Structure 1
Amino acid sequence: MKNKWKTGFFLLLGLIVIIVIILLSLIMIPADEEGKIQQTVPNNKNVSFEVISNKADLNVLINQYIKKEAADSPIEYSVQLQDEVELYGTLPFFSQEVDLKLTFVPKALDNGDLVLKQKSISVGSLPLPVSYVLKFIKENYKLPKGVEIQPNDKIVHVNMQQLKLKSDVKIKVNRFDLIKDDIAFTILVSVE
């Protein structure tokens, strides 16, 4: 009977020693990198945020921006996002004002800019060449900085990095699908 107690004691002692060794080794081994909280330092001078929007909200924002940027323009115009980008305005024609409507198909570029390819045009009921009307708009409408009209190519190029925004915020277009109402931007905020 003495040997059973002696054997049980040494087995229990051995089990306790093994548990203590395992616990000590777990305490002494450094934690893996996943469990650590790491402070990230941006490797560039901007912090970015993705913003998802819709046509209704963007209509308000665009026209507010146009109102401020083109306040001293003699000609008023507005932009409406429907299934295409629609620009409405008036053209002086002799002594009358003629209504103008241009529609564009938008395309987001890889660099974050937006290109508007001219789709249709209506100037009252007069058929005018598209390049002529775009040239007239370029010369007579005060467009915001970063908006460039290329009449011969029938496009409007919106350089998003050049748009004048508050607090040195920059915008890049990620997606601009008006039919699906899928609009996404990256907002870049300077951290300097």
Structure 2
Amino acid sequence: MKDRKWKRLFFALLAINALVLAVLFIFISIPADDEDYTAIPENSDNYVPFNIKANKEDLNRVINHYLEKEGLTGAIDYKVLLNDEVDLYGTIPFFSQDLQMKLSFEPEALKNGDVVLQQKSISVGQLNLPVSHVLKLVKDRYKLPEGVTIQPQKERIYVSLQEMKLKSDVKVKVDEFNLKQDDIRFTLLVPVK
């Protein structure tokens, strides 16, 4: 009699686990929506350019200060680290635990001054996950700075520096973003009209 009770409970628990896994698989398999981005043409005649060279250490401090000051970490605590690539480290609340997350990106400076972060890898704990699904999750759940567009299908993040609002209407254009050689150069466009 007891053996049958335990068998029924075991199979009920097995069915619940299978159902949870099936639901998770379905949500992960749903395709992500993409947003295409078109650059805004900039009239540089109304701006005076200042060329600036930075290093990874200083830019790390500026990026993380901006994220903290603007309250952009939201429900997830995350930090950005510039090494030989752009690494985003954070924690994701999962039931009663916080899971460690790492996203690695290869940066590319575009001719219009914006930056594209091409996804290289994503891991949660020791598990490597499908890039497009995790980017879709990040896009849907997290507060991102203005001008940052996540494009899950293209497995990239588009950072439109032209759209970012800075004090005194100053604009930023990235000229070079080579982290392996610590060559980070950008132009500040200060309005004169």
Alignment CA distance shift 1:57-1:75 (3 Å): same
**Counterpart amino acid of 1:57?**
D
Output the CA distance in 2 between the equivalents of 1:127 and 1:141: 20
Kept after mapping to 2: 8 A contact 1:99/1:123 = yes
Tell me the distance in 2 between the aligned counterparts of 1:93 and 1:122.
14
Q: Normalising to structure 1: TM-score of the pair?
A: 0.75
Residue equivalent to 2:109: 108
- Which secondary structure state, in structure 1, belongs to the residue aligned with residue 111 of structure 2? coil
Aligned to 1:57: 58
Provide the residue aligned with 1:83 in structure 2. Answer: 84
User: Which consecutive residues of structure 1, in runs of 5 or more, have no partner in the other structure?
Assistant: 1-42
Partner of 2:37: none
Larger Rg: 1
Distance in 2 (alpha carbons) for counterparts of 1:130 and 1:87: 14
Q: Show the counterpart of 2:143.
A: 142
| 2:52–2:185 CA contact under 8 A, matched in 1 | yes
Partner SS, residue 44 of structure 1: helix
Using CA pairs below 8 Å that are at least 6 residues apart, which structure has the higher relative contact order? 2
- Identity among equivalent positions (%) equals 57
Distance in 2 (CA, whole Å) between partners of 1:138 and 1:154 is: 12
Q: How many residues align?
A: 150
The TM-score normalised by the length of structure 2 is 0.74
Q: Residues 38-53 of structure 1: matches in 2 within 5 Å? A: 44-53=45-54
Q: 1:170 matched to which residue of 2?
A: 171
Alignment gaps of 5+ in structure 2: 1-43
| CA RMSD across the alignment | 1.4
Distance in 1, matches of 2:50 and 2:134, equals 38
Tell me if structure 1 keeps the 8 A contact 2:72–2:145.
Answer: no
Counterpart residue number, 2:94? 93
